[in-house]
Amino acid sequence: MNREEIMMRTSHPFDDDKLHEECGVFGIFGHPESAAMTALGLHALQHRGQEAAGIVSYDGADFYAHKAMGLVDSTFSKHKVISKLKGHAAIGHNRYSTTGEASLRNVQPIYADLALGGFAVAHNGNLTNAAAIREDLVNKGSLFQSSSDTEVIVHLMAVSTKTDAIEKLKSAVNEIIGAYSLVAVTDDMLIGLRDPFGIRPLVLGKMGGAYILASETCALDIIGADFVRDIEPGEMVVIDKKGLRSLQPFKSTHKRFCIFEYVYFARPDSFMEGHSVYEMRKNIGAVLAKESPVKNADVIVPVPDSGTPSAIGYSQASGVPFELGIIRNHYVGRTFIEPTQQIRNLGVKLKHNANKAYLKDKVVVLVDDSIVRGTTSKKIVEMVKAAGAKEVHMRISSPPTAHSCFYGIDTPSQEELVAHAHNNDEIAKMIGVDSLAYISVDGLYQAVGEKGRNNDKPQYCDACFTGDYAVELVDKIAGCSSSKKKVSLGAKMLVSIDD
Amino acid sequence: MNREEIMMRTSHPFDDDKLHEECGVFGIFGHPESAAMTALGLHALQHRGQEAAGIVSYDGADFYAHKAMGLVDSTFSKHKVISKLKGHAAIGHNRYSTTGEASLRNVQPIYADLALGGFAVAHNGNLTNAAAIREDLVNKGSLFQSSSDTEVIVHLMAVSTKTDAIEKLKSAVNEIIGAYSLVAVTDDMLIGLRDPFGIRPLVLGKMGGAYILASETCALDIIGADFVRDIEPGEMVVIDKKGLRSLQPFKSTHKRFCIFEYVYFARPDSFMEGHSVYEMRKNIGAVLAKESPVKNADVIVPVPDSGTPSAIGYSQASGVPFELGIIRNHYVGRTFIEPTQQIRNLGVKLKHNANKAYLKDKVVVLVDDSIVRGTTSKKIVEMVKAAGAKEVHMRISSPPTAHSCFYGIDTPSQEELVAHAHNNDEIAKMIGVDSLAYISVDGLYQAVGEKGRNNDKPQYCDACFTGDYAVELVDKIAGCSSSKKKVSLGAKMLVSIDD
Amino acid sequence: MNREEIMMRTSHPFDDDKLHEECGVFGIFGHPESAAMTALGLHALQHRGQEAAGIVSYDGADFYAHKAMGLVDSTFSKHKVISKLKGHAAIGHNRYSTTGEASLRNVQPIYADLALGGFAVAHNGNLTNAAAIREDLVNKGSLFQSSSDTEVIVHLMAVSTKTDAIEKLKSAVNEIIGAYSLVAVTDDMLIGLRDPFGIRPLVLGKMGGAYILASETCALDIIGADFVRDIEPGEMVVIDKKGLRSLQPFKSTHKRFCIFEYVYFARPDSFMEGHSVYEMRKNIGAVLAKESPVKNADVIVPVPDSGTPSAIGYSQASGVPFELGIIRNHYVGRTFIEPTQQIRNLGVKLKHNANKAYLKDKVVVLVDDSIVRGTTSKKIVEMVKAAGAKEVHMRISSPPTAHSCFYGIDTPSQEELVAHAHNNDEIAKMIGVDSLAYISVDGLYQAVGEKGRNNDKPQYCDACFTGDYAVELVDKIAGCSSSKKKVSLGAKMLVSIDD
Amino acid sequence: MNREEIMMRTSHPFDDDKLHEECGVFGIFGHPESAAMTALGLHALQHRGQEAAGIVSYDGADFYAHKAMGLVDSTFSKHKVISKLKGHAAIGHNRYSTTGEASLRNVQPIYADLALGGFAVAHNGNLTNAAAIREDLVNKGSLFQSSSDTEVIVHLMAVSTKTDAIEKLKSAVNEIIGAYSLVAVTDDMLIGLRDPFGIRPLVLGKMGGAYILASETCALDIIGADFVRDIEPGEMVVIDKKGLRSLQPFKSTHKRFCIFEYVYFARPDSFMEGHSVYEMRKNIGAVLAKESPVKNADVIVPVPDSGTPSAIGYSQASGVPFELGIIRNHYVGRTFIEPTQQIRNLGVKLKHNANKAYLKDKVVVLVDDSIVRGTTSKKIVEMVKAAGAKEVHMRISSPPTAHSCFYGIDTPSQEELVAHAHNNDEIAKMIGVDSLAYISVDGLYQAVGEKGRNNDKPQYCDACFTGDYAVELVDKIAGCSSSKKKVSLGAKMLVSIDD
For residue B348, the model assigns a pLDDT of 62
How many residues comprise chain A? 499
Measure the CA–CA gap between D450 and D462, rounded to whole angstroms.
14
A176, A153 in Cβ contact below 8 A? yes
For residue A334, the model assigns a pLDDT of 43
Verify that C284 and C178 share a domain, yes or no.
Answer: no
Find which of A51-65, C233-247, C483-497, D147-161 is predicted with most confidence, using mean pLDDT. C233-247
Verify that C30 and C98 share a domain, yes or no.
Answer: yes
Q: Inspect the interface and report whether the beta carbons of A491 and B143 lie closer than 8 Å.
A: no
Residue D36 lies in a domain: yes
The residues that bridge with B276 in the sheet, in sequence order, are B271
Verify that B216 and B318 share a domain, yes or no.
Answer: no
Cite the beta strand spans of B4-51 per DSSP E: 20-21, 23-29
Task: Please report which confidence band the pLDDT of residue B329 belongs to, taking 50, 70 and 90 as the band edges.
Answer: confident
Residue C432 lies in a domain: yes
Give the CA count within 13 Å in the CB-facing half-sphere of C447: 33
One-character DSSP codes across D13-26: TT---S-EE-EEEE
Q: Inspect the interface and report whether the beta carbons of C222 and B346 lie closer than 8 Å.
A: yes
Q: Check CB contact of A489 with chain B, cutoff 8 Å.
A: yes
Q: Is the peptide bond before D305 cis (omega within 30 degrees of 0)?
A: yes
Query: Taking Cα atoms as reference points, which of B23, B97, B19, B47 lies closest to residue B417?
Result: B19
Measure the CA–CA gap between C457 and D342, rounded to whole angstroms.
76
Judging contacts by C-beta atoms under 8 Å, the chain B residues touching residue C338 are 77-80
Provide the ipTM.
0.90
Judging contacts by C-beta atoms under 8 Å, the chain B residues touching residue A67 are 495
For residue A345, the model assigns a pLDDT of 61
3-state helix, strand, coil split of chain C in percent (to 5) is 30, 25, 40
Residues 6+ apart with CB under 8 A from C423: none
For chains D and C, having 3+ Cβ pairs within 8 Å is answered: yes
- Domain boundaries, position C225: 3-256
Measure the CA–CA gap between B331 and B329, rounded to whole angstroms.
5
Measure the CA–CA gap between C409 and D243, rounded to whole angstroms.
49
Query: Taking Cα atoms as reference points, which of D257, D279, D259 lies closest to residue D268?
Result: D279
Q: Check CB contact of C358 with chain B, cutoff 8 Å.
A: yes
Å between D354 CA and nearest CA of chain A: 7
pLDDT digits (tens, 9 = 90+) for C290-305: 999 999 999 999 998 8
Q: Inspect the interface and report whether the beta carbons of D142 and C141 lie closer than 8 Å.
A: yes
Among D64, D143, D153, D175, pick the best mutation site for testing chain C contact (most C Cβ within 10 A): D143
Residues 6+ apart with CB under 8 A from D43: A329, A331, A350, D72, D73, D76, D222
**Radius of gyration, alpha carbons of chain A:** 23
Residue A168 lies in a domain: yes
Verify that B425 and B383 share a domain, yes or no.
Answer: yes
**Nearest by CB: C269 against B46, B71, B353:** B353
Q: Check CB contact of C139 with chain D, cutoff 8 Å.
A: yes
- Give C 444-473 residues with CB within 8 A of chain B: none
Report the SS3 class of residue B74.
helix
**Other beta carbons less than 10 A from residue C139's beta carbon:** 13
Give me chain B's average pLDDT, please. Answer: 88
Cite the beta strand spans of C9-167 per DSSP E: 20-21, 23-29, 52-58, 63-69, 89-95, 110-114, 117-127
Report the SS3 class of residue D447.
helix
**Other beta carbons less than 10 A from residue D173's beta carbon:** 23
Q: Is the dihedral of CA D405, D408, D412, D417 positive or negative?
A: negative
**Other beta carbons less than 10 A from residue D497's beta carbon:** 15
- Give B299 or B116, the one with higher predicted confidence: B299
Pairing of strands D203-207, D110-114: unpaired
Kindly report each contact of residues A402-405 with a partner whose C-beta sits within 8 Å and lies 24 or more positions away, as own/partner. A402/A464, A402/A465, A402/A467, A403/A463, A403/A464, A403/A465, A403/A466, A403/A467, A404/A464, A405/A19, A405/A260, A405/A463, A405/A464
Judging contacts by C-beta atoms under 8 Å, the chain D residues touching residue C139 are 115
Quick one: closest CA in D to C486, which residue? D113
Verify that D241 and D162 share a domain, yes or no.
Answer: yes
pLDDT digits (tens, 9 = 90+) for B67-92: 888 888 878 877 888 889 999 999 99
Give the CA distances from residue C86 to residues C62, C81, D105, D135, in Å, rounded to whole numbers and listed in that order. Answer: 9, 10, 21, 26
Burial C372-392 (b: 16+ CB within 10 A, else e): bbbbbbbbbbbbbbebebebb
Among B12, B14, B223, B330, pick the best mutation site for testing chain C contact (most C Cβ within 10 A): B330
Enzyme catalytic residues of B: 23
Residues 6+ apart with CB under 8 A from C456: none
Residue A107 lies in a domain: yes
Q: Which stretch of A232-246, C367-381, D223-237, D332-346 has the lowest confidence by average pLDDT?
A: D332-346
For residue C351, the model assigns a pLDDT of 84
- Give D282 or C488, the one with higher predicted confidence: D282
Report the SS3 class of residue D122.
strand
Task: Please report which confidence band the pLDDT of residue D491 belongs to, taking 50, 70 and 90 as the band edges.
Answer: very low
Q: What is the 3-state secondary structure (H, E, C) of A131-191?
A: HHHHHHHHHCCCCCCCCCHHHHHHHHHHHCCCCCHHHHHHHHHCCCCEEEEEEEEECCEEE
How many residues comprise chain B? 499
Verify that B241 and B336 share a domain, yes or no.
Answer: no
Residue B106 lies in a domain: yes
Å between C488 CA and nearest CA of chain B: 37
Enzyme catalytic residues of C: 23
Measure the CA–CA gap between D110 and D184, rounded to whole angstroms.
9
Judging contacts by C-beta atoms under 8 Å, the chain C residues touching residue B327 are 218, 267-269, 278
**Nearest by CB: C218 against B83, B340, B353:** B353
Pairs of residues, one from chain A and one from chain D, whose beta carbons lie less than 8 Å apart: 201
Verify that B71 and B216 share a domain, yes or no.
Answer: yes
Pairing of strands A435-438, A391-396: parallel
**Nearest by CB: C349 against B7, B46, B222:** B222
**Nearest by CB: D43 against A40, A316, A331:** A331
Report the SS3 class of residue C270.
coil
As a whole number, mean pLDDT of residues C269-287 equals 97
CATH classification of the domain holding C378? 3.40.50.2020
Å between D243 CA and nearest CA of chain C: 22
**Other beta carbons less than 10 A from residue B499's beta carbon:** 7
Residue B337 lies in a domain: yes
B181, B233 in Cβ contact below 8 A? no
Q: Which stretch of A320-334, B92-106, C14-28 has the lowest confidence by average pLDDT?
A: B92-106
Among C493, C497, C499, pick the best mutation site for testing chain D contact (most D Cβ within 10 A): C493
Res. A333: pLDDT tops 60: no
**Radius of gyration, alpha carbons of chain C:** 23
pLDDT digits (tens, 9 = 90+) for C312-348: 999 999 999 999 999 988 776 544 445 566 666 666 6
What angle (nearest 5°) sits at the alpha carbon of residue B103, between those of residues B101 and B106? Answer: 90
C272, C262 in Cβ contact below 8 A? yes
Distinct helix (H) and strand (E) counts, chain B: 18, 26
CATH classification of the domain holding D70? 3.60.20.10
Measure the CA–CA gap between A370 and A376, rounded to whole angstroms.
11
Last residue within a domain, chosen from B447, B463, B481: B447
As a whole number, mean pLDDT of residues D10-22 equals 56
Q: Check CB contact of D319 with chain A, cutoff 8 Å.
A: no
Q: Inspect the interface and report whether the beta carbons of B40 and C276 lie closer than 8 Å.
A: no
Verify that C62 and C178 share a domain, yes or no.
Answer: yes
pLDDT digits (tens, 9 = 90+) for B225-234: 999 999 999 9
Query: Taking Cα atoms as reference points, which of D415, D420, D426 lies closest to residue D400?
Result: D420
Pairs of residues, one from chain C and one from chain D, whose beta carbons lie less than 8 Å apart: 143
> Looking at this protein, which amino acid is placed at residue A353?
N
Give the CA distances from residue D25 to residues A122, D20, D47, D183, in Å, rounded to whole numbers and listed in that order. Answer: 48, 15, 12, 7
Task: Please report which confidence band the pLDDT of residue A99 belongs to, taking 50, 70 and 90 as the band edges.
Answer: very low
Quick one: closest CA in B to C352, which residue? B222
Q: Check CB contact of D79 with chain C, cutoff 8 Å.
A: no
Measure the CA–CA gap between D482 and D198, rounded to whole angstroms.
22
Q: Which stretch of B176-180, C105-109, C359-363, D450-454 has the lowest confidence by average pLDDT?
A: C105-109
Pairing of strands B275-276, B271-272: antiparallel
Res. A251: pLDDT tops 90: no
Measure the CA–CA gap between B269 and B262, rounded to whole angstroms.
11
Verify that B283 and B251 share a domain, yes or no.
Answer: no
Q: Check CB contact of A268 with chain D, cutoff 8 Å.
A: yes
As a whole number, mean pLDDT of residues B45-53 equals 89
> Looking at this protein, which amino acid is placed at residue D92?
G
Q: Inspect the interface and report whether the beta carbons of D114 and C138 lie closer than 8 Å.
A: yes
Residues 6+ apart with CB under 8 A from A228: A203, A204, A205, A206
Q: Inspect the interface and report whether the beta carbons of C187 and D490 lie closer than 8 Å.
A: yes
pLDDT digits (tens, 9 = 90+) for A343-396: 666 666 788 899 999 999 999 999 999 999 998 899 999 999 999 999 999 999
Verify that C174 and C283 share a domain, yes or no.
Answer: no
Pairing of strands C20-21, C409-410: antiparallel
Judging contacts by C-beta atoms under 8 Å, the chain C residues touching residue B355 are 268-269, 276, 278
Task: Please report which confidence band the pLDDT of residue C412 belongs to, taking 50, 70 and 90 as the band edges.
Answer: confident
Quote the percentage of chain D above a pLDDT of 70: 87
Report the SS3 class of residue B69.
strand
Task: Please report which confidence band the pLDDT of residue C105 belongs to, taking 50, 70 and 90 as the band edges.
Answer: low
B29, B206 in Cβ contact below 8 A? no
Residue B269 lies in a domain: no
What total number of domains does chain A contain? 2
A393, A293 in Cβ contact below 8 A? no
**Nearest by CB: D279 against A269, A330, A357:** A357
Q: Inspect the interface and report whether the beta carbons of B2 and C330 lie closer than 8 Å.
A: yes
A279 Rama sector, left if φ>0, alpha if ψ -120 to 50, beta otherwise? alpha
Active site residue D23: yes
- Give B 385-444 residues with CB within 8 A of chain C: none
Query: Taking Cα atoms as reference points, which of C447, C370, C432, C435 lies closest to residue C403?
Result: C370
Res. D281: pLDDT tops 60: yes
Measure the CA–CA gap between B347 and B8, rounded to whole angstroms.
12
Give the CA count within 13 Å in the CB-facing half-sphere of C284: 36
Verify that C181 and C134 share a domain, yes or no.
Answer: yes
Verify that C247 and C285 share a domain, yes or no.
Answer: no
Measure the CA–CA gap between D465 and D451, rounded to whole angstroms.
18
Q: Decide: residue C451, CB within 10 A, 0-12 exposed, 13-18 middle, 19+ buried.
A: exposed
For residue B71, the model assigns a pLDDT of 82
Residue A417 lies in a domain: yes
Q: Decide: residue B293, CB within 10 A, 0-12 exposed, 13-18 middle, 19+ buried.
A: middle
Measure the CA–CA gap between D57 and B265, rounded to whole angstroms.
56
Measure the CA–CA gap between B108 and C278, rounded to whole angstroms.
44
